[in-house]
Structure 1
Amino acid sequence: MLDNLNTHNEKSLALTFGKDEARKIMEKISLHHTPKHASWLNMAEIELSVVERQYTKKRIATHSYLAKELSHWKERRNRKEETITWSKIAFCGSIFLLLNVSD
């Protein structure tokens, strides 16, 4: 999984390792780029904030206990089909809202 940095491609591998080696590497891997607008990242952050709010108030003694608790949390959340609500606000719209709020 890669972000959209301009160096994350076969051409960069060829510059680093040479064309033949880059071709061999590319046969072994599959590049998957994240969406340019990265909305999936915002949604992941929202999900993590839900976990954080629920689990930072109690003591978690061990890593294995935390893993078990998070597994149960995920199963419950999936079983209930709980979702998050997220919408993308255009940059210009954000500026307009900020200007209106300060008036």
Structure 2
Amino acid sequence: MARVYDRPIVIQKIDEITEQWTDCFKLHAKINKSKTDNEYLNAGAVQGKRTLTFEVRYFAELEAISFDTQGYRILYNNVPFNIKDFDDYMLQHKTVKLMGVSY
């Protein structure tokens, strides 16, 4: 069964001078819930952060994210996700999994 990359996402990069996010890549991803979803207590209130895995087809420009995950983020359904992990499985350059955590 073929993988379905049917969810549109935008990868944004922060401009270090203006501190504004700008669109870098518009992609289609296969999205899955990560096993690391968690809830935590903050000042007595339960807050949940959603953790998703975004799998996209590899292209060379994605390599920049692997060295600077803090300078990029994923926008999915108008919700920003911090990129916490970049996985190009065994450096095969076929697909890349990005783990994103909502703000």
**TM-score normalised by the chain length of structure 1:** 0.19
More strand by share: 2
The higher radius of gyration belongs to 1
**TM-score normalised by the chain length of structure 2:** 0.19
More helix by share: 1
